[in-house]
Amino acid sequence: DTEVTQTPKHLVMGMTNKKSLKCEQHMGHRAMYWYKQKAKKPPELMFVYSYEKLSINESVPSRFSPECPNSSLLNLHLHALQPEDSALYLCASSEPGRTHYGYTFGSGTRLTVV
Amino acid sequence: SQQGEEDPQALSIQEGENATMNCSYKTSINNLQWYRQNSGRGLVHLILIRSNEREKHSGRLRVTLDTSKKSSSLLITASRAADTASYFCATGGTSYGKLTFGQGTILTVHP
């Protein structure tokens, strides 16, 4: 079982819909991440939160809006997406000073925009 | 551009054989990590090697790092069908920083 839980596992949404992806971790990690992965490509970083504050935004379009309500939760709000935004969205967490454990990833949300 | 570039892009072997994947990167690093991804799902952290280390072992995994050549290799010994997956190297990730992935190697192990 993964220690980072993402919901939903699959999501189909229209271009005018508003939806949210959710991520939860119970490891006490103080950094959380959103990655986007297209088919047969590596994950690409979207956002980094550290101590519940946004520290990195990789020039992501504003139709993606991250939110960190508390140290265990990370949301990604979606609005007016395009079909090219269809991808696997991965959440991850990590704890500084324990880098030998690497990052812990969730199983992802497979998003299809129609 | 991606920090890490991997080769081969795809590797097909028989069960019991060894699999070697290579990764090259462009800038200075603090550490280099390897991850496995099964069937387009979440990534699993395999092993991390620090910039002052040259070799590291974990079970059937052996990782080497050559900072002078900016390259790393992952060796999986006595491969099993369950090792079939995509393997990514990743660099960076210091403190709360970015973890940047290479293009990945798709490994297929035939029973």
Contact B45 A37 (CB under 8 A): no
pLDDT of residue A99: 65
Alpha carbons A66 and A77: distance in angstroms, whole number: 6
Q: Categorize the per-residue pLDDT at B12 as very low, low, confident or very high, splitting at 50, 70 and 90.
A: very high
| pLDDT of residue A98 exceeding 50 | yes
Judged against a pLDDT cut of 90, whether residue B57 lies above it is answered with yes
When pLDDT is averaged across residues A37-43 and rounded to a whole number, the result is: 94
Q: Do A45 and B44 touch (CB under 8 A)?
A: no
**Which 8-state DSSP code applies to residue B52?**
T
Mean pLDDT on A26-45: 93
User: What pLDDT is recorded for position A97?
Assistant: 66
Query: Sign (positive/negative) of CA torsion B67, A58, A88, A103?
Result: positive
DSSP code at position B29:
-
Sort out which chain A residues have CB atoms less than 8 A from B100's CB and list them: 45
Q: Is B105 on the interface with A (CB under 8 A)?
A: no
C-alpha distance from residue A9 to each of A39, A85, A107 (Å): 16, 16, 8
Q: Is A108 on the interface with B (CB under 8 A)?
A: yes
| pLDDT at residue B94 greater than cutoff 60 | no
Could you read off the pLDDT of A64-85 as tens digits, one per residue? 999 999 999 999 999 999 999 9
pLDDT score of B1: 36
Q: What angle do CA B63, A95, A101 make, to 5 degrees?
A: 25
Mean pLDDT in residue range A55-64: 95
Contact call for residues B99 and B2 (beta carbons, < 8 A): no
Identify which of A42, A44, A102 has the shortest CB distance to residue B48. Answer: A102
Q: Taking residues B4-27, report their average pLDDT.
A: 91
Report pLDDT for B6: 79
Shortest distance between the Cα of B44 and any Cα of chain A, in A, equals: 7
What are the tokens at B102?
């290479």
- How much is the pLDDT for A17? 93
For residue B41, give the nearest of A13, A6, A17, A44 by alpha carbon: A6
Tally of residues, chain B: 111
For B65-79, what is the mean pLDDT?
96
Count Cβ atoms within 10 A of the Cβ of residue A69 and give its class: 0-12 exposed, 13-18 middle, 19 or more buried.
exposed
Segment B67-84 shows an average pLDDT of 96
Q: Say which DSSP state B8 is in.
A: -
Structure tokens at B86: 């995509």
Report the gap between the CA of A17 and the closest CA in chain B (Å).
25
Strands A109-113 and A87-94: antiparallel
Residue of chain A with shortest Cα separation from B30: A99
Q: What is the mean pLDDT of residues B47-73?
A: 96
pLDDT for res A100 = 67
Q: Tell me the mean pLDDT in the region B53-62.
A: 97
Average pLDDT across chain B, whole number: 90
What does the pLDDT average to over B61-71? 96
pLDDT bucket at B75, cuts 50 / 70 / 90: very high
Tell me the CA distances in angstroms from B56 to A50, B7, B17, B60, B66, one per residue in order: 29, 20, 20, 11, 12
Q: Could you tell me the pLDDT band of residue A2, with boundaries at 50, 70 and 90?
A: low
